[in-house]
Structure 1
């Protein structure tokens, strides 16, 4: 946090040198940088980190104090990060000591170390900010901040929870406000329950609204859907019973059909029928043998 603003100033100075101090040339590049920088990288924490970095502050002290915006954002950070009014007044008085290099800030070792560009200003405050203990704590908190994209990723996940398939026609302002409420409610909950162990007891939502999908991130099931699900479950349970009952009814129908009676013939009747058929077969064979010579002679 303590390097970005100062390095951006140095980069703009290098651009001026590269274009031979021709304003018509470097002004185009500066406009591109300022368009993104003014909207993203000029937050109170960025400017406060530049102000509390002794390497940049004392080298450009007259310009920084003449601007006034750096001092204003430092006071904004003091009011936002410190809730006690008495402590706020003490930090403002200590800030004047830092500006005038009083106390431990005027030591020769402190002046020599702040001239080194590669030093760590957060550690410098811990070593040489003993005469301003409240301001030293605030400066260490600001200068130890690091850049990360995790907050942006969490914000995108919050947008995905709000912009669901069911609510996909929200206007941009409406959706942004809902994400703001959802995300900041989580931050507020963490701040209020800072000393609570989340493993021992489950932390409830701030609004305690489990039916609101904009807060919980889950789509609620309506009564009609629940009834359909219950009817579907009942139908799936009754399906095997119906199949078994239909199979039982089919078996009963099959069993109720009358069976065909099979005629039984005794062995004696079969023998009698064979004896009766034998003379007829013999007579037919004799008649064929009598007719065969005449037929051969005629041929």
Structure 2
């Protein structure tokens, strides 16, 4: 097979488990012509695998035009959702972007089917069921509102009041003091209207698209200190447990049978050093240097699980 696919494998080792099936299907589609050539080659026909039921079944799948069409459709429909997973599982803090990213993913699916509700509605129902039951939380709506890139962008929308409801819920949950809540609400008016020396400055307006949301609040939220503190708490929250899971993987890799007698402090120190070395290799200082671009997330790039 590798002779026909220029040395490439269909299953890409090392990618996160969230996207393995998607990436494998995409690899099969890209290599479909080469795979067809392999199954008509003399080497395959003379191979004992070509006479086995499994070999014949795989060959039939490769030459099935309906398989190719449906696989292409699955990849196209799944790609926007994989972009969201890639965003959540990345190194940056995407709290201010997740709400918008999900909306864009659903719109991409709708546009693929050219607005045909009979085709995109069943997929939307699956996405909404998973999003509403397991993933969607008020803090995602609050992050969307507090991201100046979207709040002051032309695509901002809250027609059903879901965003403001999420923001209100977050304020009630995260700020127990009633007086501080009132101060946050009063300062929201300045933020929404872009009023005040800092919010209305040219640098602040330009920074909405050139800075990360947390950096923007750190630089330009001085006139609304209570809202600034709340915004930073929201926007700096992680959207997944990926970093914790990577820590656990390091623990398992270091605490082996041969090294099972490691003292807890030494084990913690080794994990700390290993994890920070990985961050250095990935050049986190470059990854965190600018805002997230939702249009520039590569769903085909490998990322560690």
> Normalized against structure 2, the TM-score is what?
0.45
Structure number with higher helix proportion: 1
Is the radius of gyration larger for structure 1 or structure 2? 1
